[in-house]
């Protein structure tokens, strides 16, 4: 299946998902439906009042044809003859019904708003909690922009369907049933005539349901692509500007936006055809009722009051049927939204294995015949077998794509190592048997691309240790050679670093990320090429500070710089995912191999740079 593909969920699965989201808002929607039912009943009463007034109060039609309940109300008011002189009572009854309807509609709107907003909050909270627990691999396979679109636009689509369509079901059902009952009670032949076009309208709506679904699916998926494109360009705006790619990205966005717009235009034409056709069918039905109703009145088989009431009920009958057509089209759109949300909810969260527990994290780290490949890609690591003694420093050297970072992702369980791929142990305990929270709390890692949040520098440093004291934070900054830089800022640690740390240089971001990791004082520290943007002198100072303050920690240094690795206890050289060399820096420097080749190249460049400085001087 392609990335970001959204398989269609079974209807039962959709129903369960909706019920899951309705926790906390179900009562609001049930009361909302009750108010809708009262409003529908009030709509049914008014035409009956008008009918009785025209035929029995103002006219001379006998009251024997009325239902016992209506006759009882008339007798309580003094009879039809007495009401001719008290028409204000009838007006008062109409006003009372209108007040009941207004109150029920008010309750409907208020309860609907409370229910829909509670529903949205529940959906957002549930999705956010679930996404936060999804594996790192899942995030790498799905575009951020598309995820955001599913958590915003698709949630709104689902909310609109539940709050505007599903809550009207009771009202529509009551209006349909009672309208048919009252109409049949007045004139069965005319009721049958009114019912003839209805199956056509319903069948017509169902026919368009699948077409709407496909259209909404295409629109939603391409909106996700558009959102992903915007997100990538906004976060990578410096790269776009640096390489003068504004026109290219603008044209690329314009092309996608035009295609997205054309999908909605196409869907709009289809919906316009559907609604206009439905209007024609509905108006034909109304015309048939009026024409045949007038004929029946002229023949004397129907009274004027009955025709007025029948026409009112017919309008109530046509509206729910048309609303049903709209509901079907909205159901198509909501179904797509629910499927896209369901795609996220169906993704399996990271879970600890049964029996996983907290284990000592200050023991030897052992890679036992580890082999690993990313999904759909060739094997990245081949039979890695080595031991990293506790408290030692391991340097890792290798070309791009040699598997250096992958080893660390597996150690931190950002990617799950399959059973057949060997095992990784810490202090003799398989990391699969260590609770994820405990494992990651005791492994500090500075990633290859340091990420800073759009907050102050202080908030970024304390994000993992919010209760850390001022002196401890400054000590971590000093170890990362960051404090001097911070002191040069006008606001010091309260400096706002901007989105992704955009206001800081590459080296400053790396040092801030190192300081953030050092605030944890973890027994295992990983530096994934995190000193590449700092100068050689600062690199040496940071390594010296690490040795002095964190000498008991196990440190893993990934770097392309030989000077960074020169003071490591052991250096692992990877070549295309396999162990090419392993030994002390002195041993590797004396051997033929990749380590010495890189050392010679960097030494030659270093000597050349020193000579140039001497000539300039």
Q: Which pLDDT does position 433 carry in this prediction?
A: 92
- For residue 141, pLDDT beyond 90: no
> Does the residue 61 lie in any domain?
yes
Query: 65-69, 91-95, 134-138, 190-194: which has the minimum mean pLDDT?
Result: 65-69
Query: 91-105, 122-136, 183-197, 237-251: which has the minimum mean pLDDT?
Result: 237-251
In terms of domains, do 455 and 517 share one?
A: yes
Residue percentage of the chain with pLDDT more than 70:
87
Following DSSP, what letter does each residue of 383-436 receive, concatenated?
EEEEEE-TT-EEEEEE-TTSSHHHHHHHHTTSSPPPGGG-EEEETTEEGGGB-H
As a whole number of angstroms, the distance between CA 502 and CA 454 comes to 9
What is the mean pLDDT of the segment spanning 380-389? 92
Which residues, at least 6 apart from 191, have a Cβ–Cβ distance to it below 8 Å? 180, 183, 184
- 612 — pLDDT class (breaks 50, 70, 90): very low
How many C-alpha atoms does 18 have within 13 Å on its Cβ side?
24
The CA-based angle 536-455-495, given to 5 degrees, is 65
- 611 — pLDDT class (breaks 50, 70, 90): very low
Q: Which pLDDT does position 204 carry in this prediction?
A: 72
In the three-class reduction of DSSP (H, G, I as helix; E, B as strand; rest coil), residue 517 is classed as helix
- Listed as own residue / partner, the contacts of 121-126 with beta carbons closer than 8 Å and 24 or more positions apart are 122/21, 122/22, 122/23, 122/24, 122/25, 123/21, 123/155, 123/158, 123/159, 123/341, 124/151, 124/155, 126/20, 126/21, 126/345
Mean pLDDT, the chain, integer: 81
Of 321, 345, 369, the domain-final residue: 345
In terms of domains, do 339 and 195 share one?
A: yes
Per-residue exposure over 511-548, b if at least 16 CB sit within 10 Å of its own CB, e if not: bbbbbbbbbbbbbbbbbbbbbbbbeeebbbbbbebbee
Phi, psi for 236 (deg, rounded to 5) = -105, 30
CA distances for 315 relative to 34, 114, 278, 294, angstroms: 22, 31, 14, 16
Taking phi over 0 as left and psi of -120 to 50 as alpha, with beta for the rest, 442 belongs to: alpha
- CATH code for the domain in which residue 88 is found: 1.20.1560.10
The CA-based angle 149-152-158, given to 5 degrees, is 110
Q: Which pLDDT does position 602 carry in this prediction?
A: 75
In terms of domains, do 361 and 338 share one?
A: no
Q: Which pLDDT does position 423 carry in this prediction?
A: 93
- 2 — pLDDT class (breaks 50, 70, 90): very low
Query: 94-103, 177-186, 286-295, 603-612: which has the minimum mean pLDDT?
Result: 603-612
Pairing type for strands 423-426 and 578-583 reads unpaired
The H-or-E segment that residue 149 falls in is: helix 144-160
In terms of domains, do 491 and 386 share one?
A: no
What is the mean pLDDT of the segment spanning 31-52? 82
- 369 — pLDDT class (breaks 50, 70, 90): very high
In terms of domains, do 163 and 45 share one?
A: yes
- CATH code for the domain in which residue 427 is found: 3.40.50.300
* Nearest residue to 408 via CA among 515, 526, 522: 526
Q: Listing from the earlier edge strand, what are the strands of the sheet with 429-430?
A: 379-388, 365-373, 423-426, 429-430
Q: Is 80 exposed, middle or buried (0-12, 13-18, 19+ CB in 10 A)?
A: buried
Higher pLDDT, 320 or 589: 589
pLDDT in tens, 571-588: 999 988 899 999 999 999
As a whole number of angstroms, the distance between CA 321 and CA 328 comes to 11
- For residue 519, pLDDT beyond 80: yes
User: In 480-593, which ranges are continuous DSSP H helix?
Assistant: 483-487, 506-518, 536-549, 562-565, 585-590
Q: Which pLDDT does position 608 carry in this prediction?
A: 47
Task: Give me the residues paired with residue 126 across strands.
Answer: none
- For residue 533, pLDDT beyond 70: no
Taking each continuous run of H as one helix and of E as one strand, the counts in the chain are 23, 10
* Nearest residue to 35 via CA among 105, 89, 128: 105
How many C-alpha atoms does 461 have within 13 Å on its Cβ side?
31
- 70 — pLDDT class (breaks 50, 70, 90): low
> Does the residue 350 lie in any domain?
no
Following DSSP, what letter does each residue of 290-344 receive, concatenated?
HHHHHHHHHHTSS-HHHHHHHHHHHHHHHHHHHHHHHHHHHHHHHHHHHHHHHHH
In terms of domains, do 387 and 470 share one?
A: no
Q: Which pLDDT does position 4 carry in this prediction?
A: 52
- 543 — pLDDT class (breaks 50, 70, 90): confident
In terms of domains, do 325 and 361 share one?
A: no
Q: Which pLDDT does position 71 carry in this prediction?
A: 66
Q: Which pLDDT does position 371 carry in this prediction?
A: 93
- For residue 180, pLDDT beyond 50: yes
* Nearest residue to 340 via CA among 227, 256, 224, 229: 224
Higher pLDDT, 471 or 279: 471
- For residue 389, pLDDT beyond 90: yes
Q: How many CB atoms lie within 10 A of CB 145?
A: 22
> Does the residue 207 lie in any domain?
yes
Q: Which pLDDT does position 518 carry in this prediction?
A: 86
Higher pLDDT, 493 or 11: 493
CA distances for 486 relative to 15, 293, 442, 472, angstroms: 54, 87, 27, 15
pLDDT in tens, 4-14: 555 555 555 77
Following DSSP, what letter does each residue of 548-576 receive, concatenated?
HHSTTSEEEEE-S-HHHHTT-SEEEEEET
Q: Which pLDDT does position 185 carry in this prediction?
A: 76
As a whole number of angstroms, the distance between CA 159 and CA 209 comes to 19
DSSP 357: B
As a whole number of angstroms, the distance between CA 587 and CA 603 comes to 17
CA distances for 104 relative to 95, 164, 289, 589, angstroms: 14, 16, 30, 86
Q: Which pLDDT does position 103 carry in this prediction?
A: 94
> Does the residue 617 lie in any domain?
no
> Does the residue 462 lie in any domain?
yes
What is the mean pLDDT of the segment spanning 191-199? 79
What is the mean pLDDT of the segment spanning 540-569? 82
- 372 — pLDDT class (breaks 50, 70, 90): very high
Phi, psi for 362 (deg, rounded to 5) = -105, 20
pLDDT in tens, 3-39: 455 555 555 577 788 888 888 888 998 898 888 888 8
In terms of domains, do 257 and 333 share one?
A: yes
> Does the residue 610 lie in any domain?
no
Q: Which pLDDT does position 507 carry in this prediction?
A: 79
Q: Which pLDDT does position 607 carry in this prediction?
A: 47
In terms of domains, do 433 and 459 share one?
A: no
Q: Which pLDDT does position 613 carry in this prediction?
A: 40
In terms of domains, do 509 and 530 share one?
A: no
> Does the residue 293 lie in any domain?
yes
DSSP 165: I
By the 8 A CB rule, do 474 and 483 touch? yes
How many domains does one find in the chain? 3
Sign of the CA dihedral with 140 first, then 143, 145, and 150 last: negative
Following DSSP, what letter does each residue of 178-205 receive, concatenated?
HHHHHHHHH-HHHHHHHHTTHHHHHHHH
How big is the chain by its Cα radius of gyration, in Å?
Answer: 37
> Does the residue 616 lie in any domain?
no
Query: 297-301, 394-398, 496-500: which has the minimum mean pLDDT?
Result: 496-500
In terms of domains, do 372 and 473 share one?
A: no
As a whole number of angstroms, the distance between CA 109 and CA 114 comes to 9
Which range marks the domain in which residue 503 is found? 449-521
What is the mean pLDDT of the segment spanning 120-134? 91
Query: 174-183, 319-328, 461-470: which has the minimum mean pLDDT?
Result: 319-328
In terms of domains, do 430 and 307 share one?
A: no
Query: 11-20, 158-167, 405-414, 583-592: which has the minimum mean pLDDT?
Result: 11-20
- For residue 179, pLDDT beyond 80: no
By the 8 A CB rule, do 134 and 300 touch? no
Residue percentage of the chain with pLDDT more than 90:
14
As a whole number of angstroms, the distance between CA 597 and CA 370 comes to 27
Q: Which pLDDT does position 571 carry in this prediction?
A: 92
DSSP 492: G
Higher pLDDT, 244 or 6: 244
The H-or-E segment that residue 528 falls in is: strand 524-528
Query: 177-181, 291-295, 345-349, 364-368: which has the minimum mean pLDDT?
Result: 177-181
């Amino acid at each position: 299946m392609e990335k970001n593909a959204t398989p269609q969920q079974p209807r039962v699965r959709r129903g369960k998902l909706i019920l899951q989201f309705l926790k906390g808002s179900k009562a609001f929607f049930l009361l909302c439906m009750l108010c809708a039912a009262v409003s529908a009943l009030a709509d049914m009463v008014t035409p009956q009042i008008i009918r009785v007034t025209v035929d029995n109060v103002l006219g001379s039609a006998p009251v024997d044809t009325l239902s016992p309940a209506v006759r009882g109300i008339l007798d309580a008011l003094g009879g039809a003859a007495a009401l001719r002189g008290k028409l204000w009572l009838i007006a008062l009854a109409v006003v009372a019904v209108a007040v009941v309807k207004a109150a029920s509609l008010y309750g409907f709107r208020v309860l609907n708003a409370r229910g829909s907003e509670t529903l949205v909050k529940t959906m957002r909270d549930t999705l956010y909690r679930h996404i936060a627990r999804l594996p790192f691999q899942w995030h790498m396979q799905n575009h951020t922009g598309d995820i955001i679109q599913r958590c915003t636009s698709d949630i709104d689509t689902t909310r609109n369907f539940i709050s505007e369509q599903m809550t009207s079901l009771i009202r529509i059902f009551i209006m349909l049933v009672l309208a048919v009952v009252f109409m049949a009670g007045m004139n069965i032949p005319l009721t049958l005539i009114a019912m003839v076009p209805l199956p056509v309208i319903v069948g017509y709506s169902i026919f368009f349901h699948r077409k709407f679904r496909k259209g909404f699916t295409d629109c939603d998926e391409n909106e996700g692509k558009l959102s992903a494109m915007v997100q990538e360009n906004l976060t990578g705006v410096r790269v776009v500007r640096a390489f003068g790619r504004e026109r290219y990205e603008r044209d690329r966005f314009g092309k996608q936006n035009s295609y997205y717009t054309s999908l909605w235009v196409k869907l709009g034409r289809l919906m316009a055809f559907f609604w206009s056709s439905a209007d024609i069918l509905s108006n034909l039905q109304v015309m048939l009722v009026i024409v045949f109703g007038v004929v029946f009145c002229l023949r004397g088989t129907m009274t004027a009051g009955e025709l007025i009431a029948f026409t009112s009920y017919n309008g109530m009958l046509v509206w729910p049927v048309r609303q049903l057509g709209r509901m079907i089209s909205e159901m198509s759109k909501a179904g797509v939204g629910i499927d896209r949300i369901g795609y996220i909810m169906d993704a399996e969260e990271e879970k600890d294995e049964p029996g996983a527990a907290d284990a000592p994290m200050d023991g030897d780290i052992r890679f036992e015949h580890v082999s690993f490949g990313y999904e759909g890609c060739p094997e990245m690591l081949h039979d890695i077998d080595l031991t990293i003694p506790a408290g030692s420093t391991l340097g890792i050297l290798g070309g791009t794509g040699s598997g250096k970072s992958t080893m660390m992702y597996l150690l931190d369980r950002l990617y799950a190592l399959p059973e057949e791929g060997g095992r990784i142990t810490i202090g003799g305990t398989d990391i699969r048997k260590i609770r994820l929270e405990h494992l990651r709390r005791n492994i500090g890692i500075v990633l290859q691309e340091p990420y800073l949040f759009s907050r102050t520098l202080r908030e970024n440093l304390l994000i993992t240790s919010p209760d850390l004291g001022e002196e401890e934070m400054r000590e971590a900054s000093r170890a990362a050679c960051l404090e001097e830089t911070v002191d040069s800022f006008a606001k010091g640690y309260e400096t706002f670093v901007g989105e992704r740390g955009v206001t800081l240089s590459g080296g400053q971001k790396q040092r801030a990320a190192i300081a953030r990791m050092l605030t944890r004082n973890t027994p295992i520290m990983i530096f994934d090429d995190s000193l590449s943007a700092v100068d050689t002198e600062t690199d040496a100072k940071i390594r010296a500070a690490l040795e002095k303050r964190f000498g008991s920690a196990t440190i893993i240094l990934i770097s392309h710089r030989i000077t960074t690795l020169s003071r490591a206890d052991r250096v692992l050289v990877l070549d295309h995912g396999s162990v090419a060399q392993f030994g002390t820096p002195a041993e590797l420097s004396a051997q033929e191999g990749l380590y010495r080749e890189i050392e010679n190249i960097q030494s030659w460049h270093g000597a050349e740079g020193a000579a140039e400085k001497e000539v300039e001087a």
